[in-house]
Structure formats: C-alpha cells, structure tokens
C-alpha cells in the first residue's frame, strides 16, 4: 500500500510539472504589448493636460500626439499577434497534457505486467532462502534432457563413420574393454549422441573401479552437461563434487560449479569461484572465454563493480616469500621476555598482520582457519565471524578447501 501511495504522489507531481510547463506562457504576467498600450493611452491623456497648463504649444502637442498614436498602433498590432499565438498554442498545450497522462498511465500498466503490485520487498536472507528452495527443486538430468531436441551430426568422413560403426559392434562383443569404452564415449559425444556417450562413460567408470581418475569423472559430468543443453543438473553437480574430492584444484570442475551457481541465481557464490579460476588458468584453457564473457555481469550482480582488467590480477594466494604460519621461532623467544600486556599487544599485531595479508592478497584455506582460531584465542569471536563467512564465500564449491575452514567454524560456533 505504501508503494502505491508513493508512486501515485510521484505520478501526480510529474503530471503537474508537465502541465505547468505547457501553460506557463498563459499564466505569466500581462503581455508586454498590453502594458505598453495602457501606458501610451495614459500619455495621450496627459498631452491634453499639458496643453491646458501651457507646458506644450499646440504645434508641439500635434507632434507628440502623432508619435504616441504611432506607438499605440504598434502595441495594438503586437497584442493581436500574441493573442493569435496563444490561440495557436492551445492545441499544443492540450497535446502535452494528453501525452503526460498517457505516459503515466502507460507506466502503471507496464508495472502491473512486469512488476509485482502489492508484493513487499524481500530481505536478502529471504531471497537466498527462496533461491535455495528453487535450487533443491530444480530439474533432474532426465527432465532437462527431455527438453533438449536431439542433434546428431553426420560424420563428413565416410571412412571414420564406418570405423565408428565397427567400434559400436566390437563393444557389443567386448563391453568391458576400457580403451574401447573411452574411445566410444569420445566418438559418440563428437557426433552429438550424448546419451550413448554417457552410457559408455558410466560403464567405463564402473569397469575401472578404484583406478578411475578425476578426468574420467569429469568427462562424464561434461557429457551430462552437454546432453542437458548446457545445464548443470543435480546429478552433474554430484559428479563435479566427486571430481573436486579427488582433485581440489581441478579448474574445469570449478568452472562448472561456478556456472551452476550463476544459473541458479547465486552470483555471490559464482563470482569468487570464477575470479580464482580466471586468475589461476593458463592461456588457451577452454573455460577462459565463457568466464570472460560473463564474469563482469556476475560480479556486478554479486555487488562487486569490477572490470575484466581488474580480474586479471594474480590469484588469491600468499605473495612470494610470505610466511604461511604465524609468528616465527625468534618471535616466540622474544615474547618470553615481555610483560603480559606487551605479549598480548605483540600477538594482536601478528594477528592483525595476518588479517591484512588475507584481505589484500588472499591465501590458502589453512591461513583463513588460522586467523579464525587466533581471534578465538584472543577472546574476539565477533571478529572471527566475518572472517569465517568471507572464507566460505571465497572457497565456495571447493569441498576440500572448505574442510579446515569448517573445522575452525565449528570452534567458533562453540565459542559464541
């Protein structure tokens, strides 16, 4: 209700401003020509009085009357011209008033179509909760694939097409041969037959057992992604998390996790993941181009106004030569000779130095966990809380990196 009252008041003010601008000429003081005409008529009457008092001779009075009469005629013509202009401007004024009404009515009509009349503004926590609910209920892999029309490609190389057909027949006779399965999955994917490629890759992973690699699981996740038309399904997400569990630094898996969050309306999680992937990647990595095309938009949606040039800075790692741990042995030996107050101040300075380094240059998850624990030792859980929340955002989607941070977070929860 408050929104509509404010919107209505603003609409009235805008409409009034437009109407006043259109009628300003008519509402101004009396036209100059009408004022001049009145003055000249008064002067003409004064001439007769001056003749009667002997101030003017009859000859001078005739000349004066002639000049004043000429000015009266000019003022009368000007007055007639202004009246004609005012009459001609009336349709224009009415058109402006009508246009103002049309603009205001159109704005309200458009808002009722694309807006949410009567819907209150949502706190950020509520919005995130809604997004997470939608994320939990998002389409499965099968549902997503059902919406994607099949797009099989004809192999332009007749000889290669014949070899692929022979490979299919051979794998029917020897279904557990790893090299054949890997080759079949690749060829089916190349031809756009992603369902067959997924079946081959899934069976390859079953055959390999404990010998399966992160790249094998990643290949299955990418096949799922392509089969779903570029959508990261819950099944694909589980595969990507499995990849990161085996290889926490896998850039391709981290790219897809970031893309998943971007698709789900969580730019606050997608941006830090892509920021680090962009900084750590080598020229020519296939995910660089799609990240560069979207990361500025994702960053803006996350509330961080940065340019692509800003994002070309080094990754969030400690600078070369920077200590990962806290105080050195020499620092500890020196602290033994200090008073309790000086020792406390020294520890606080060291902790402040670690906090400044992480805020400026970033660092590994162990340093973030160490800073959280340091604040707890100092009895300052209120300062540990924002560090913990920021660390969760920086390493979002990388389960292995989050392990020490969550361990420190558990100690924080216990201390609060």
pLDDT attached to residue 339: 57
Cα torsion angle, 214, 220, 225, 226, sign: positive
Q: How far apart are CA 228 and CA 230, in angstroms?
A: 6
- Residue 153 has what DSSP assignment? -
Identify the segments of the chain with pLDDT beneath 70: 1-8, 15, 18-37, 79, 81-97, 100, 104, 108, 111-132, 135, 152, 306-347, 349, 360-362, 397
pLDDT attached to residue 254: 94
Half-sphere exposure of 74 (CA within 13 A, CB side): 10
- Residue 312 has what DSSP assignment? G
Decide if 308 contacts 279 (C-beta within 8 A).
Answer: no
Closest CA to 237 of 148, 147, 139: 139
Q: How far apart are CA 270 and CA 262, in angstroms?
A: 5
Half-sphere exposure of 181 (CA within 13 A, CB side): 19
Q: Which residues of 365-386 are buried (b: 16+ CB within 10 A; e: fewer)?
A: bebbbbbbbbbbeeeebebbbe
pLDDT attached to residue 317: 40
Tokens for 34, please give them.
């009408």
Q: Where are the domains of the chain?
A: 2-114, 161-248, 329-415
Provide the CATH topology of domain 329-415. Answer: 1.25.40
Q: What is the pLDDT of residues 99-142, one digit of tens each?
A: 767 776 777 677 666 666 655 555 555 556 666 677 677 899 99
DSSP class per residue in 244-261:
HHH-TT-HHHHHHHHHHH
CATH, range 161-248: 1.25.40.10
pLDDT attached to residue 114: 65
Q: pTM for this one?
A: 0.51
């Amino acid at each position: 209700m408050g929104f509509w009252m404010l919107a209505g008041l603003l609409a009235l003010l805008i409409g009034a401003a437009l109407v006043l601008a259109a009628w300003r000429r008519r509402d101004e003081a009396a036209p100059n020509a009408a004022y001049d005409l009145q003055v000249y008529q008064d002067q003409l009457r004064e001439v007769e009085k001056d003749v009667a008092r002997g101030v003017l001779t009859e000859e001078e009075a005739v000349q004066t009357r002639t000049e004043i009469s000429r000015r009266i005629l000019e003022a009368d013509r000007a007055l007639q011209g202004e009246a004609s202009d005012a009459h001609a401007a009336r349709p224009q004024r009415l058109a402006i008033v009508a246009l103002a009404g049309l603009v205001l009515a159109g704005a309200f009509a458009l808002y009722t179509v694309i807006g949410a009349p009567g819907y209150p503004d949502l706190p950020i926590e509520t919005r995130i909760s809604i997004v997470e609910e939608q994320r939990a209920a998002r389409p499965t892999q099968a549902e997503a694939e059902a919406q994607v029309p099949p797009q099989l490609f004809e192999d332009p190389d007749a000889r290669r097409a014949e070899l692929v057909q022979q490979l299919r027949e051979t794998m029917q006779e020897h279904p557990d041969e790893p090299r054949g399965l890997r080759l079949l999955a690749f060829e089916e994917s190349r031809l756009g037959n992603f369902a067959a490629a997924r079946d081959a890759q899934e069976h390859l992973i079953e055959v390999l057992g404990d010998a399966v690699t992160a790249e094998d699981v990643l290949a299955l996740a990418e096949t799922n992604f392509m089969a779903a038309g570029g959508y990261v399904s819950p099944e694909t997400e589980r595969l990507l998390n499995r990849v990161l569990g085996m290889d926490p630094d896998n850039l391709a898996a981290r790219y897809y996790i970031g893309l998943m969050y971007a698709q789900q309306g969580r730019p606050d999680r997608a941006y830090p993941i892509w920021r680090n992937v962009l900084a750590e990647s080598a020229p020519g990595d296939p995910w660089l181009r799609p990240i560069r095309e979207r990361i500025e938009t994702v960053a803006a949606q996350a509330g961080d106004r940065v340019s692509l040039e800003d994002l070309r800075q080094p990754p969030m790692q400690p600078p070369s030569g920077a200590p990962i741990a806290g105080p050195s042995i020499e620092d500890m030996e020196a602290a033994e000779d200090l008073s309790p107050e000086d020792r406390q101040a020294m520890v606080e300075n060291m902790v402040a130095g670690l906090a400044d380094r992480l805020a400026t240059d970033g660092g590994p998850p162990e340093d973030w966990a160490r800073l959280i624990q340091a604040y707890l030792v100092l009895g300052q859980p209120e300062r540990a809380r924002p560090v913990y929340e920021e660390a969760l955002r920086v390493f979002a989607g990388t389960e292995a990196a989050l392990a020490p941070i969550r361990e420190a977070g558990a100690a924080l929860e216990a201390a609060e």
